[in-house]
A and B are shown apart, each in its own frame.
Chain A
Amino acid sequence: MKNLLRILKTNLPKGCQFNTEHNQITVIVPSQSIIECCKILKKHAELKFDILIDLCGVDYLSYGVGEWDTVSTTATGYSRATNNKPDESKWPLPRLAVVYHLLSTHLNHRVRVKAFIESDPPEIESICSIYKHANWYEREAYDLFGIIFNNHPDLRRILTDYGFKGFPFRKDFPISGHVEVRYDEAEKRCIYEPTSIDPRVTVPKVVRDDNRYLKGKENE
Chain B
Amino acid sequence: MSDLSHYTVNFGPQHPSAHGVLRLILELKGEVITDVDTHIGLLHRATEKLAETKPFNHSIGYMDRLDYVSMMCNEHAYVMAIEQLLGVNPPKRAQYIRVMFDEMTRILNHLMWLGAHAMDLGAVSVFLYCFQAREDLMDCYEAVSGARMHATYYRPGGVYRDLPNSMPNYEPNRWRTEKEIEILNENRQGSLLDFIENFIKSFPSKIDEYENLLTDNRIWKQRTVDIGIVSPSLARKLGFSGPMLRGSGINWDLRKDQPYAVYNELDFDVPLGSKGDCYDRYLIRIEEMRQSTRIIAQCITWLRANPGPVMTNNKKVAPPKRIKMKDDMEALIHHFKLFTEGYIIPPGETYAAVEHPKGEFGIYLVSDGSNKPYRLKIRPAGFTHLQALGELSKGLMIADLVTILSSIDVVFGDIDR
Contact = CB atoms under 8 A, between A and B. Distances in A.
Given A21-B348, A133-B388, A208 B370 contact: yes
Given A22-B85, A203-B340, A159 B368 contact: no
Contact of B342 (A21, A131, A161, A203): A203
A197 B355 CA distance: 40
B44 A203 contact: no
A203 B55 contact: yes
A207 B362 CA distance: 26
B379 A208 contact: no
A157 B384 CA distance: 16
B267 interface: no
A105 B236 contact: yes
A136 B383 contact: yes
B388 to A, nearest CB: 7
B252 A158 contact: no
Interface residues of B, number: 56
A43 interface: no
Given A21-B348, A101-B362, A175-B49, A56 B370 contact: no
Interface stretch (A1-9, A47-55, A178-186, A187-195): A47-55
Contacts of B46: 168-169
Given A63-B374, A158-B40, A203 B49 contact: no
Contact of B49 (A22, A110, A168, A216): A168
B387 interface: yes
Contacts of A158: 40-41
A51 B41 contact: no
A205 B372 contact: yes
A108 B257 contact: yes
A24 interface: yes
A112 B388 CA distance: 24
Given A26-B349, A51-B239, A168-B46, A203 B54 contact: yes
B270 to A, nearest CB: 13
Given A22-B85, A158-B41, A101 B384 contact: no
A103 to B, nearest CB: 8
B350 interface: yes
A53 B371 contact: no
Contact of A51 (B49, B236, B366, B388): B236
A99 interface: yes
B190 interface: no
B369 A64 contact: yes
B250 interface: yes
Please give me the 3 A-B residue pairs with the lowest Cβ-Cβ distance, nearest first: A133-B239, A159-B41, A213-B346
12 contacts: A51-B236, A99-B377, A135-B387, A137-B383, A159-B40, A161-B41, A168-B49, A169-B49, A203-B371, A203-B372, A208-B370, A210-B344
